[in-house]
Amino acid sequence: MLTRIDVRGRRDAELSAALPRPEEPGRAERETVASIIDAVRQGGDRTLLELTEKLDGVALERIRVADAELHDALARIPEELRQALLVAHRNIAAYHAYEMATVPDFVAHGLRIRHLVRPVDRVGCYAPGGRARYPSTVLMCAVPARVAGVQEVVLCVPPGRDGTVDDATLAAAALAGVDEVYAIGGAQAIAAMAYGTESVRPVDVVVGPGNRYVAEAKRQVAGAVGVASAFAGPSEVVVVAAPDTPASFAAIDLAVQAEHGPDGLAWLVTWSEEKASEVEAALERIVAESPRRDDLASTLARGGYSCIVDDAEHALAVSNVVAPEHLELLFEGAETLLGSVRAAGAVFCGPWSPASLGDYVAGPNHVLPTDRTARFASALRADDFRRHLHAVSAQPSAMETLGPAVETLAETEGLPAHAASIALRRARLREEGAR
């Protein structure tokens, strides 16, 4: 079920070459997404309805979900689910508020520089649908936007077979303060939010995970809108197991990520061949008993690996090459190895810290970089919904302390007006001082 890889004794470039890399989006995917984006830009709502019927098998009369449906759904869902959503909402909001620490003004050399932060005006959130429903993703996308001060938050989610959006998703949208919900999914939803249609006004930033077509659409519209959290595509995990890690813990956590569907990655990394065999056997039993065994088996066959390494540090070297969305260090004392972690969307330390906590209620975002983009990208943050400006205020003394350097640099670059803007002010100060 897992493809066994033995990289013992391999380091650096040799290690990187020995590990499989994720597939790049194929030409067919790129062309399909490009044609969808172009069709939506040209045809607007009519194209969205046609694509929803063609791709999702649902004939809709309108794409926007009535506002009343959100609050009705919040009242309809079971009390246990409502309380769970409230716990998640509280922790997500608290963590993202903590991230937004105020930066003090900088004062030196006769200058005062104010750090100004402004939220974007309108954000588009995408929550996947189809194989499962993801109210947690609605909270993870919309709550940080609200914490950041965004005034308008919209949500796109694929409709169910009956043409509606399920109550759990709508309830989460109501709880998070989403302003507009649209029953559209796929690349066409990203195109609608990026460029607008008759019903969907364009947004400033698009966030949220999705399948490879959704992720490719975000690549193609980047620049027309802000796209946060890099390539938030199919789910990934690297589970690092020590010889004393419970095999059942490692196996179920591999299944957790494979459960999300096709194109994901599930890596077991261990320095114990015996432990690898135990985990593989436990995983086979979990898959055989799962109601989603076909999806699990398919994902693991394509993206499941069991990697044998020399030791814990070597395991981290493998993980840094994979640069996973989730990294689980399932052994005691894992925090001592955090200094060796260079590329991961989120790290979960110890056998009692499964990624499922982060998926729902820990507070940090579960919208994470995938497809090796954790090498340069980070988890979705409240700051992804804000713009940073600076305001410079100079005292006359700055003309003498800093002005000569400006004049020298400007003259070196052949920009005499830049130099003159300082020289004129310095001359005025000398005149005033002579009076």
Residues classed as catalytic: 325-326
Distances (CA, A) of 354 to 250, 287, 331, 350: 9, 18, 11, 8
What CA–CA distance (Å, rounded) separates 39 from 42? 5
Nearest-5° Cα angle at 320, 315 to 324: 100
Phi and psi at residue 20, in whole multiples of 5°? Answer: -65, 145
> CB 278: neighbour CB atoms within 10 A?
20
How far, CA to CA in Å, does 246 sit from each of 240, 251, 274, 296?
A: 11, 9, 12, 21
Q: How many other C-beta atoms can be found within 10 angstroms of the C-beta atom of residue 245?
A: 22
3-class DSSP state for residue 26?
A: coil
User: Contact at 8 Å (CB) between 267 and 324?
Assistant: yes
Report helix, strand or coil for 275.
helix
Amino acid 151 reads Q
Sheet holding 304-308, edge to edge: 3-6, 304-308, 265-270, 236-241, 326-330, 346-349
- HEC profile of 411-422: HHCCCHHHHHHH
Please give the Cα distance from 74 to 269 (Å, whole number): 42
Taking the CA atoms of residue 370, residue 375, residue 379 and residue 383 in that order, the dihedral angle to the nearest 10 degrees is -130
DSSP 115-179: EEEEE-SEEEEE---SSS--HHHHHHHHHHHHHHT-SEEEEE----TTS---HHHHHHHHHHT-S
Please name which of 218, 265, 211, 199 lies closest in space to residue 377, comparing C-alpha atoms: 218
Contact 155, 180 (CB under 8 A): yes
Q: Which residue has the tokens 């992804």?
A: 384
Closest CA to 138 of 312, 366, 432, 371: 366
Taking alpha carbons only, the member of 154, 102, 162, 166 closest to residue 124 is 154
